[in-house]
Chain A
Amino acid sequence: MALRILEYVRPKTLEEAFELLQNEGAEILGGTTYARLSSRTIKLAIDLQDVGISDIYEEDGYIVVGAMARLANMQFHDLIMNYANGYLYDAISYVWSVQLRNIATVGGTVVPKWGFSDFITAVLALSTEVEFYKAGRMKLEDFLENPTPRKDIMTKLLIKKEPRKASFKFMRNSVYDFSIVNAALSAKEEEGKLVDWRVAVGARPGVAALSRKAMEVLNEGYDDEHIERAVNAMKEELKFADDFRWSGEYRKEVAGVLVKKAIGEVIG
């Protein structure tokens, strides 16, 4: 069985879309690329392309990315290409193919919290927030660590525009495959120092998470001894599990190597 849609609507406003979503069996459509792989019936499919949440712009010190922006629009936007030395431009370029990135949306990528996601790991390593129509604005890590707002619409991804150095690393069997484990790091540049480190590891195979213990260690210092301690803290703190691709134990070791390499790149 494939995906079955009984009724399709294209509301003009977010208010209208939200009201429609409250109907039983109603669901939001992003780019429909992943929804396509499932076998279920959607009674009412709500297409958000006309509700005005596709733009990318700067506001109050944040890069704001509408939830209906396509991954490719985001990748090639000047605000993204010029941010943190093109870090996100590069990370997004590893999401499958050009043809997929031209369709897949930011909302459809963040809301399902897929473990394999490269995108979520990459944005989690920055100071990022998400905004929902009803539930409002929250830190990305709070969104990932708590139940997803039910029957709600993600409207924006907000990336704080601050001077950050960042690095994204992954391990996969070939470039055109899913990450078996991935890691992203960033630190803020302040008066010649690197502060406010963020360490995210994804595809463990669970969804990306921050290693707060590793962040604490790096905030104390980033010489060789601190780097070693940060890597060990990350390996102790985060859960790694087996799946059909790799064992959790192997993932953990590789994650350690990726984090160490990424710290090296951020330090420069």
Chain B
Amino acid sequence: MKIKVKVNGEWKEWEIDPSDYLLDVLRREGYLSVKRACDTGTCGACTVLVDGFPALSCSVLAATMDGHEITTAEGIADEMEEYIKALASEGAEQCGFCSPGLMVMVYALKKEIENGKVEKNEEAVKRYLIGNLCRCSGYLGQQRAIFKFLGVK
């Protein structure tokens, strides 16, 4: 079957199998920032934005995405330059496998804070990001970088 999706601002038409998950299709089409780790909805490495909201691409059937808008880490890298710098200066990355999914979440979180849906404090930020696991860093470097980027005191 065919689907039409807007990925990082550009409409694409892809031939997919009805059993394909969005993660499989995005990686096959070259969006390699989208990572497969747990493949069960737990780790957040596969996070992308669907119509502006973060979603687990490993758990969304690609067929259901026909007509929808998808944003991957590639699509927001320019806007997130300050965040990437903060990650580097806080020594927050080790293998980096979790970083693109986390970056998409931090991008969404910033918008939610600006819209008044999420409070700008330590507790609220940690709860928003609970679904992004990192097996290397111990989270503290990432936490420093995220608080710095969002201006959380």
Contacts and interface: CB of A to CB of B under 8 A. Distances in A.
A99 B21 contact: no
Contacts of A100: 41, 56, 59, 131
Interface stretch (B61-69, B80-88, B91-99, B142-150): B61-69
Contacts, number: 81
A246 interface: no
A36 interface: yes
A100 B56 CA distance: 6
Given A32-B59, A32-B64, A76-B117, A98 B18 contact: no
A99 B55 contact: yes
Given A31-B60, A33-B59, A97-B44, A4 B54 contact: no
Interface residues of A, number: 29
Contacts of A4: 19
B130 A176 contact: yes
B1 A103 contact: no
A99 B54 contact: yes
B31 interface: no
B66 A5 contact: no
Contacts of B14: none
Interface in B1-60: 1, 18-19, 21, 40-41, 44, 47, 50, 53-56, 58-60
Contact of B130 (A29, A32, A37, A97): A97
A47 B41 contact: no
Contacts of A31: 59-60
Residue among A37, A72, A103 with max Cβ neighbours from chain B (10 Å): A103
Nearest to A3: B19
A47 B64 contact: yes
A244 to B, nearest CB: 17
B19 A2 contact: yes
B128 interface: yes
Nearest to B59: A33
Contacts of B73: none
A102 B50 contact: yes
Interface string B64-80: 10100000000000000
Report which residue of A33, A45, A98, A103 has the largest number of chain B beta carbons within 10 angstroms of its beta carbon: A98
Contact of B127 (A36, A45, A76, A93): A93
B85 to A, nearest CB: 25
B63 A103 contact: no
Contact of A98 (B50, B58, B61, B131): B131
B3 to A, nearest CB: 10
B103 interface: no
A32 B64 CA distance: 9
Interface stretch (A6-14, A51-59, A156-164): A6-14
A6 B105 CA distance: 33
A129 B64 CA distance: 28
Contacts of A2: 19
A128 interface: no
Interface of A: 2-8, 10, 29, 31-33, 36-37, 45, 47, 49, 72, 76, 93, 96-100, 102-103, 175-176
Query: Top 9 nearest A-B pairs by Cβ distance?
Result: A97-B131, A8-B18, A5-B18, A8-B63, A33-B59, A5-B19, A102-B53, A32-B61, A99-B56
Interface of B: 1, 18-19, 21, 40-41, 44, 47, 50, 53-56, 58-61, 63-64, 66, 105, 108, 117, 127-128, 130-132
Given A29-B64, A97-B44, A102-B54, 10 more contacts: A4-B19, A5-B19, A33-B60, A98-B105, A98-B128, A99-B55, A102-B53, A103-B50, A103-B55, A103-B60
14 contacts: A3-B19, A8-B1, A8-B61, A36-B21, A47-B61, A47-B64, A96-B131, A98-B108, A98-B128, A99-B131, A100-B59, A102-B53, A103-B55, A175-B130
